[in-house]
Amino acid sequence: MIRKGKDFYHNQYDKAMQMYRDGISIKDIANSLGISYSSVYSWTKGKIPEEGKLNEFIAFLEKTGPSPVIVIREMFSSHDDLYQNSLKRGFNVKRYKTSLQKIGSAATWYYLEGQEDELKKRVLDMVKRYKELREKFVA
C-alpha cells in the first residue's frame, strides 16, 4: 500500500470537518474518506494536518509556471523525490529534460499539465540566451 502522505490528509481535512459538523460519526467519516479513525478523531479535537511539501511544490509551479531545477532546488532540495511522489499519487507534475546537458541544472524543467506552451517558450528563450552568451565568450 502506498503511503498517502501529509498532502492527502491536508486535502481531506475540510471534508472531514464538514461531515463532522453535519453530525456524521468519526468512524463513518474515516471509512468514507479512506483515512484512519485516529486522524479524524484528532482533527475533531483541534489538531490540523500539515500541508506537506508536495502541495507546496505544486502551488509553486501553479504560481510561477515551468521552472528549471536551478530555481526549484532553492526551495525544494528534494525535488526529484517530490516528482516521484507526484507520479505515484497521480498528480499532474511533469518533467522535461533538454538536450543541452552542458548547462547542468538549467537543462531539467518541471511543469504542470497545461503549461506546455509556456515551457516551450521559456526553454527556447533560455537556449537563445545560452547561445548568445557562448558566442560572446568564445569569440
- Angle (deg, nearest 10), helices 79-88 and 53-64: 100
Q: In whole angstroms, what is the distance from residue 68 CA to residue 70 CA?
A: 5
Residue 2: predicted pLDDT: 44
- The DSSP bridge pattern shows strands 93-97 and 67-68 to be unpaired
Region 55-74: what's the mean pLDDT? 90
Q: Tell me the three cell numbers of residue 44.
A: 475533531
Residue 85: band (very low, low, confident or very high) from pLDDT cuts 50, 70, 90: confident
The percentage of residues in the chain with a pLDDT greater than 70, rounded to a whole number, is 86
The separation between CA 113 and the C-alpha centre of its own chain, rounded to angstroms, equals 12
Residue 61: band (very low, low, confident or very high) from pLDDT cuts 50, 70, 90: very high
Residue 40: band (very low, low, confident or very high) from pLDDT cuts 50, 70, 90: confident
Higher pLDDT, 127 or 114: 114
Domain boundaries, the chain: 5-44, 64-138
